[in-house]
């Protein structure tokens, strides 16, 4: 009855204190079954598709133009695939398809599953930062990440298909759009994000484990890049829905 609420019925804004994104390269044949038929994979070098893990400390999430006081502070771990969608006007849009979202707040799980299709689950998340490293851990959800702030000389991860950090930046996110597909109505929901500033800095990955990725049973998955960005105002426009034209 209230399913329309999940279609982002109003604009939302937040402040990203930090966002760490690890991008993994997977063969396009393996990732293709994980996205709906209205989307295409965003392919690199004719071979690689990408799945990213974003770990975001969010402050004051609230409807746009609302005061900050009732906003929600939460930590997000999101798993998303880089995709493209050709809209009804024939324009190709680059965006993300969300597989799963975890948060450290029950309230955010509840609100997120009312107003989005992002499949939120509440879990334990610990964030541990010191002068050299940043760590994100979850016992329940099998997350164990440690990164070190990089410099201009930090190397790309071994096995990365990218030749430079500039090349890798194209798949660091966030992308302009996020897509959701309703298999019953054949409608595509398009949410556009707006940011004023976004300059990711490379980080060195000291160790990582993501149980959700392990559960996908991908035969070959390569860490391609890791970036961090901090102190970013961000907002999402009201969702737009259109019928997919096959």
8 A C-beta contact, residue 8 and residue 189: yes
Pair of tokens at residue 215? 């559960």
CA atoms of 94 and 178, how far apart (whole Å): 8
pTM: 0.92
pLDDT higher than 90, residue 23: yes
Share of the chain above pLDDT 70, in %: 96
User: Binning pLDDT at 50, 70 and 90, where does residue 1 land?
Assistant: very low
Tens of pLDDT, residues 96-138: 999 999 999 999 898 888 878 888 999 999 999 988 899 999 9
Average pLDDT of span 18-37: 97
Query: pLDDT tens, 47-67?
Result: 999 999 999 999 988 877 776
Tokens coding 62: 């609230």
Evaluate whether 138 touches 126 at the Cβ level (below 8 Å). Answer: yes
| Topology adopted by domain 3-243 | Acetoacetate decarboxylase-like (2.40.400)
Residue labelled with tokens 């049973």: 217
Position of tokens 């737009």? Answer: 240
Q: How far apart are CA 120 and CA 112, in angstroms?
A: 6
Domain residue ranges in the chain: 3-243
CA separation for the pair 131, 141 (Å, rounded): 26
Query: Which ranges constitute the DSSP H helices of 44-162?
Result: 106-115
């Amino acid at each position: 009855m209230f399913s329309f609420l999940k279609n982002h019925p109003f604009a939302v804004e937040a402040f990203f204190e930090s966002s760490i994104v690890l991008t993994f390269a997977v063969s396009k044949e393996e990732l293709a079954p994980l996205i709906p038929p209205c989307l295409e994979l965003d392919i690199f070098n004719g071979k690689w598709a990408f799945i990213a893990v974003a770990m975001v400390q969010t402050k004051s999430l609230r409807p746009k133009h609302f005061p900050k006081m009732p906003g929600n502070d939460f930590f997000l771990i999101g798993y998303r695939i880089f995709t493209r969608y050709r809209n009804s006007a024939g324009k190709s849009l680059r965006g993300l398809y969300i597989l799963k979202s975890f948060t450290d707040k029950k309230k955010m799980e509840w609100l997120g599953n009312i107003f989005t299709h992002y499949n939120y689950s509440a879990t334990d998340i610990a964030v541990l930062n010191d002068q050299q490293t940043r760590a994100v851990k979850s016992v329940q959800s099998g997350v164990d990440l440690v990164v070190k702030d990089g410099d201009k000389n930090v190397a790309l991860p071994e096995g990365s298909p990218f030749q430079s950090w500039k090349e890798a930046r194209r798949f660091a996110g966030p992308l302009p759009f996020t897509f959701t597909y309703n298999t019953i109505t054949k409608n595509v929901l398009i949410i556009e994000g707006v940011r004023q500033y976004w300059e990711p800095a490379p980080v060195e990955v000291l160790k990582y484990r993501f149980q959700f990725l392990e559960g996908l049973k991908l035969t070959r998955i390569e860490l391609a890049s890791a970036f961090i960005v901090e102190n970013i105002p961000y907002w999402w426009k009201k969702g737009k829905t259109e019928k997919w034209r096959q």
